[in-house]
Amino acid sequence: MLWFLAACCLPFSFPVDTGLDSAPICFDRDGDGVETCLGERGDCNDFSANTVATYEGEEECNGVDDDCDLQVDEEVGWHPDADGDGHGDESVVRCEKQAGDVHNGDDCNDASAAAYEGKTEVCDGLDNDCDGYADEYLIWYPDQDGDGFGADAAPSCDPSGTQTPGDCDDLDDGVYPDASERCNGADDDCNGEIDEETTLWTDADLDGWGVDPSGQVEACAAGYSPKEGDCDDTEPLAYPGALETCEDTADLNCDGSVGSDDLDRDGSPACEDCDDSVWFIYPGATETCDDGIDEDCDGEIDEGC
């Protein structure tokens, strides 16, 4: 009994290693004569004997992907060209030519001669180049307040506007995406929130400038301002950047000097000097490039650089 089991089953249970490389495993399920071997490219449709194509085969007009490029009957089938632009409807392929048919099927809109692959995109509301987008990079948005952001509601082909949308109030140049939020009951930064996280300072004289850090609050209220730096919160005419003449006896522009004082001794009185605390800043001074400072007091920074 033991001899029978050994003679019957042993050769099949323990294959002998001959030391030779094993032959590749290949198969031809549809019997078309084109084999596919494991680890190699072969018949991409091994369940249909209608095609004997491999990845190097030639495409035939038969409704099958003969050359295994994931396209069917490309360049051998016919496509209707209803708009007469020389480019056929990509969604229709037929093997028998009809009047007006063409070989190339690269038209995504066969109802318009202004649309097919490779066509230059123009601002006309159509996807001219068949990339899935209409008028990309050609749409303009009206920018009535000139802040560089246009209203989303009225895009057009008029290049007098801007190509940057997102303005939630196109009549206020202080309102646009990512603008500084002001304490004004409006959504200045166009994020859908009003006066959020606005830092305010005590503004007793209501000149728009706060002075007391201890009065800082996080919500809009009367008597507070989002701008800090008032040098005299009892005088509404005194605040940073206020008009000051050489006859004034008070420091109205908050630069630390009064009238004809010349604290930095640069030869320019405070009433003419835009910063009387720095000696190299005065009217007519030489502008230094890339320092972000208006040395010559002309209201421009780094001009001429």
Q: pLDDT tens across 30-53, in order?
A: 676 767 776 565 667 666 655 544
| Residue found under tokens 């050994």 | 6
CA distance 177 to 191: 7
Q: Is residue 173 part of a domain?
A: no
Looking at residue 20, what is its pLDDT?
Answer: 47
Measured CA to CA, the distance from residue 264 to residue 226 in angstroms comes to: 30
299 belongs to a structural domain: yes
Structure tokens at 87: 């480019």
The count of domains in the chain is 1
Q: Using pLDDT thresholds of 50, 70 and 90, give the confidence band for residue 146.
A: very high
DSSP-derived secondary structure for the chain: -HHHHHHHHHHHHS----SSPPPPPEE-TT-SS--EETTS---S-TT-TT----TTPPP-SSSS-TTSSS-SSTTTSBB--TT-SS--BTT--BSS--TT-BS---BS-TT-TT-STTPPP-SSSS-TTSSS-SSTTT-BB--TT-SS-B-TT--BS-TTSBS-B--S-TT-TT-STTPPP-SSSS-TTSSS-SSTT--EEE-TT-SS-B-EEEEEESS--TTEES-B--S-TT-TT-STT----TT-SS--SSSS--TT--TT-SS--TTT-S-TT-TT-STTPPPPTTS---TTSSS-SSTT-
**Residue 270 domain flag:** yes
Q: Which residue would you say has higher pLDDT here, 49 or 135?
A: 135
Place of tokens 């009185």: 269
> What is the number of alpha carbons within 13 Å of residue 211 lying toward its C-beta?
16
Question: Is residue 266 assigned to a domain?
Answer: yes
In a domain, 258, yes or no: yes
Q: Is residue 294 situated within a structural domain?
A: yes
The C-alpha atoms of residue 175 and residue 280 are separated, in whole angstroms, by: 36
Is residue 105 in a domain? no
Whether 261 maps to a domain, the answer reads yes
pLDDT digits (tens, 9 = 90+) for 210-268: 887 666 676 677 788 878 899 999 999 999 888 888 888 898 988 888 888 888 899 99
Least confidently predicted of 115-119, 123-127, 217-221: 217-221
How far from chain centre, in Å, is Cα 213? 39
Return the higher-pLDDT residue of 10 and 43.
43
Domain with 279 in it: 241-305
